[in-house]
Amino acid sequence: MRDYQGLLKFVKEQYPPGTRIRLIEMQDPYAPVPPGTEGEVDFIDDAAQIHMKWSNGRSLALIPGVDRFTVIPQHLQTLKLYMPLAVMQYERDELGSLEEYPSELDQGTVLSYHDQILAAILKERTPEKTERGLMKYYHEDDGVGQKVKSLFFTVEQVGSKLMGVAECRVQGDLGDAELEQLKDYVSGQASDGFGEGFEQHPIKVGSDELYVSLWTASKGWSISTKDELEATGQQMGGMQLG
């Protein structure tokens, strides 16, 4: 039983849903899929059989160790998820002490601090996170965990604004449900994970200090793909991604 569970885990890790496969030979004696047919993995069943969506419309499963096939390499794609930033500034009074209450900066002023904010967020990337980034803490064995190879926060100019960005490296295509699940995970990292620590670290700008939040409780906070952001921008007066 232990060996079988290990095989099942191995097959699921090696052939996640969406993996592209080219068939070399199928041992089905009745109606095998023709050699050379390509398709993508649909799911792995409890018998470790690889259920397929073949390009010819068939769905006959592959049996590892019996059928012969190769994996078609998929290039990593970059998926960016955008979110508004809230930046608070503590100024110094005439005695040189920081004011008790901060002021929230307008978007034009925030944009002028692009370099300082970017440097601060990059500084938060510790060595153990350099390969998978925040996906290191994603522990679900599902399509998101298998397809999203890394996740890092950064900032980027969008029109006349500076926005927070979750930059993801993805292998294969995310389904709609997987994209929403990834957004939920990113939102959690922006509010309670990475973002919670980041917003507590002051960013020095001259004699003042900035505190940057990737997430806020305001109703205006959202997380969007590039296409979603562009559509929203058109409704708001034509803001486009730079």
**For the chain, how long is the longest CA-to-CA vector?**
88
In a domain, 241, yes or no: no
Q: Do 136 and 27 fall within a single domain? A: no
Percent of residues, the chain, with pLDDT higher than 70: 90
- CATH number of the structural domain spanning residue 11: 2.30.30.30
pLDDT digits 0-9 by tens, 85-127:
999 988 777 666 767 778 889 988 999 999 999 999 999 887 6
Q: Which of 26-30, 149-153, 187-191 has the lowest mean pLDDT?
A: 26-30
- In this structure, the answer to whether residues 63 and 182 fall within a common structural domain is no
Same domain for 30 and 90? Answer: no
Average of per-residue pLDDT values in the chain: 87
DSSP code of 118? H
Number of domains in the chain: 2
Give the model's pLDDT for residue 4.
66
Q: Read off the amino acid at residue 209.
A: E
Answer yes or no: is 129 within a domain: yes
Same domain, yes or no, for 121 and 53?
Answer: no
Q: How far apart are CA 216 and CA 213, in angstroms?
A: 7
Res 3: pLDDT: 64
pLDDT given at position 235: 39
- Choose one of 38, 72, 106: the last residue of a domain: 72
**Structure-block tokens of residue 219:** 């109703």
Q: Are residues 57 and 137 in the same domain?
A: no
Distances (CA, A) of 212 to 43, 86, 134, 190, 202: 42, 6, 19, 11, 8
pLDDT in tens, 203-230: 998 888 899 999 998 888 999 999 998 8
- Per residue in 149-172, pLDDT (tens digit) is 999 999 999 988 999 999 999 988
Phi, psi dihedrals of residue 69, rounded to the nearest 5°: -160, 165
pLDDT band at 237 (very low <50, low <70, confident <90, very high): very low
pLDDT of residue 189: 96
Q: What are the beta bridge partners of residue 204? A: 209
Within this chain, do residues 83 and 200 fall inside the same structural domain, yes or no? yes
Is position 240 within any domain?
no
- Are 95 and 199 within one domain? yes
Report which DSSP code applies to 55: T
Looking at 49, 72, 95, the residue that finishes a domain is 72
Cα torsion for 225, 213, 86, 232, to the nearest 10°? Answer: 10
Q: What is the pLDDT of residue 183?
A: 97
Task: Assess whether 230 and 128 both reside in one domain.
Answer: yes
Determine the pLDDT at residue 133. 92
For the chain, how are helix, strand and coil distributed in percent, rounded to 5? 30, 30, 40
96 vs 186 pLDDT, higher one? 186
Which residue did the predictor score with more confidence, 18 or 189? 189
8 Å CB contact between 87 and 105 = yes
Q: Both 108 and 215 in a single domain?
A: yes
Residue 1's pLDDT is 43
The verdict on 151 and 100 lying in the same domain is yes
Range of the domain at 127: 76-235
Q: Is the pLDDT of residue 35 over 90?
A: yes
Looking at the structure, do residues 112 and 46 belong to the same domain, yes or no? no
Same domain for 205 and 106? Answer: yes
pLDDT confidence of residue 6: 76
- Under the banding of pLDDT at 50, 70 and 90, the label for residue 128 is low
Q: Per-residue pLDDT for 242 more than 50?
A: no
